[in-house]
Chain A
Amino acid sequence: MSDATPGSGAGAAAGGELAVEIHDLTKSYKRDRFDIKVLDGLSLAVRSGEFVALMGPSGSGKSTLLNLLAGVDRPTSGELRVAGQRVGGLSDRRLAEWRHRHIGFIFQFYNLIPVLTAYENVELPLTLERLSKAQRRVKVETALGVVGLGDRMRHYPRQLSGGQEQRVAIARAIVTDPTLLLADEPTGDLDATSAAEVLDLLVQLNQEFGKTILMVTHDPRAAERASRLLHLEKGKLVESEQEALGETAPSQPVGAREA
């Protein structure tokens, strides 16, 4: 995938290197007079090249954790490092740059820009970089090729199926070769076949290209595809992992192990 190949850049698996380090992370929201603690002293470590599924009931803090990892929200307290960078202390401007460089975000509802073609949607993050049009084209075509949509580049989102839209969104997420792919219920809006295709693609990105993936899901079948499963409940990691895909994973909750 040349420069755009997931895994060839910052996100490449590097045995044992930590992609995500979270220590005693807390996030509270103020609703009227009440402080609502969404994440409560959460600690977690994700190694580069891991595919982590994060499950839990609604309101357990899954999306909040994802937002904090993506740098679109700020923690109330605690430390959060992604690829060695302490995220919480960055200014808005630096945070946006950091996000562009290190995070690929996949949304439940794809969130493609409807007035742009598949090609243009994938090209969008690259317009923030100093790249020639030809360089951008190589990267976009490679990313769309990886997700199997090389022949749909000129299609607008409305001309694609849900599964295809999500694959375009995945291409957009990987085109900058980010350190961490964050997926917020990526199969939540898809039928079983499309969901399976998207999960296959995520597994492929993880196994072939070494991408580190953190996926929030309600779907146990989706979670099974991950190499590690975490459960969040009331802002705490209550069950940290399970073996999936036959890969070795720590048997204790991360919090318990660190304790």
Chain B
Amino acid sequence: MRKLIWRNLLRNKVRTLLTVLSVAIALFLLTLLGGVYRALTAVGSENSAELLVARNAISLTFQLPEAYGQRLRSIEGVEEIVGTTWFQGVYKDTRPENMFPRFAADETLFEVYQEIEISDEHLQAWLAERDAFVAGRALAEKQGWEIGDRIQIQGDIYPVNLDLVLRGLFEWPGEEFQENLIYFHRRYLEEATGNPGIVGTYWMRLSSEDVAPQVIQTSEAMFENSAAQVRTETGEAFAASFTEMLGNVQFLFGAIGLGIVISILFITANTMAMAARERTTETAVLRTLGFQRPAVLGMVLGEALLVGGLGALLGVLGGSLALQGLGEAMQQFAPTFAAVRATPGILAGALGLGLVIGFASGIIPAVAQARASIVDGLRSVG
């Protein structure tokens, strides 16, 4: 019977190929959506309720005067503050594997980002040298860097090249994708660019999350009449607003995914129904030979499951490769894109969905064939 299922599958090779490919494309897209969605939802997870971010009220592409740092630091409830600036630049070349986020940060970085783990030895080594940088362990392993290695980042946004030496490695437990970036001294960037005195964002660690509303209000009011107004959000608020935004994304992704699944289900079901109907006489012959109804049911269903399963395998494989490429290409813009990958959960889900599509598309024609009258089936002969 397995032989017959397989031969039936290959009976009309073009039709089978097209159906398998349609399932594969659907599952490819779903795997891709799943991976990207995972990366997007991972963004909010590193934010602590005790972290605030102050940025230019216009948008993230506008910066803040360096002088704001001292004033923000003076607000009651702010324990520590770190200014960070997005450098971008080019390391070696623009190939995806050489793209990773590069941030200039103040020395207080690890006092604000307490989730990051770095040994005291590495921290002190970084603090001690003007051109030192620290890298996430995952990135260093990927690039084959060792402590003491020198790298050059060519400026693109900024008209300077940075010569940096690796002095420390950090880890971000549970957020491995956050290890795919480097931090160097903002002071070094300032000096190299002629001390323009600008900062991308200020991250503040609060004494407690209870003071967050007050700090937000104070910080925004503090620069209300300045040329560069400030917008401050708590880590939680940021996560909440992000989640809120993701609510739409989730709906969008869900709607797209559902649409893909339903349309592909109809296509596959139609193909299976046609395939089964064409074999009505053969089914009747099999039953005349003594094959039972469940055997007929299994034969049609088995073929549908094979179509769904093969399509899912192809789609998941393609989706997984595409996610890997996408993650590498996009992580230079945001570290979270390093999290773009097909997790075992996504792969298993997509494979399962392929089988569900196969089952759902095959069950109706399978039952119809199993229940069909032998006499009617034989009568449909020529």
Contact = CB atoms under 8 A, between A and B. Distances in A.
Contact of A72 (B1, B288, B381, B382): B288
Contact of B4 (A70, A73, A107, A113): A113
Interface residues of A, number: 28
Given A107-B381, A109-B382, A100 B290 contact: yes
Chief secondary structure at chain B's binding surface: helix
Contact of B375 (A67, A92, A100, A107): A67
B3 A107 contact: no
Contacts of A109: 381-382
A127 B287 contact: no
A108 B289 CA distance: 16
Contacts of B11: 114-115
Contacts of B286: 113, 124
A72 B284 CA distance: 9
Contact of A107 (B8, B10, B378): B378
Interface string B274-313: 0000000110111111111100000000000000000000
B10 A115 contact: yes
A92 B293 contact: yes
Interface string A63-92: 000010010110000000000000000001
A96 B287 contact: yes
B376 to A, nearest CB: 10
B375 A73 contact: yes
Interface residues of B, number: 25
A116 B286 CA distance: 13
Interface in B44-79: none
Nearest to A74: B375
Contacts of B4: 113, 115-116, 124
Most A Cβ at <10 Å: residue of B11, B289, B291, B378: B289
Given A67-B378, A111-B285, 12 more contacts: A67-B375, A70-B288, A72-B287, A97-B290, A99-B289, A99-B290, A100-B289, A101-B290, A111-B282, A113-B4, A124-B289, A128-B290
Interface of A: 67, 70, 72-73, 92-93, 96-97, 99-101, 103, 105, 107-109, 111, 113-116, 120, 124-125, 127-128, 172, 189
Interface of B: 1, 3-4, 7-8, 10-11, 281-282, 284-293, 373-375, 378, 381-382
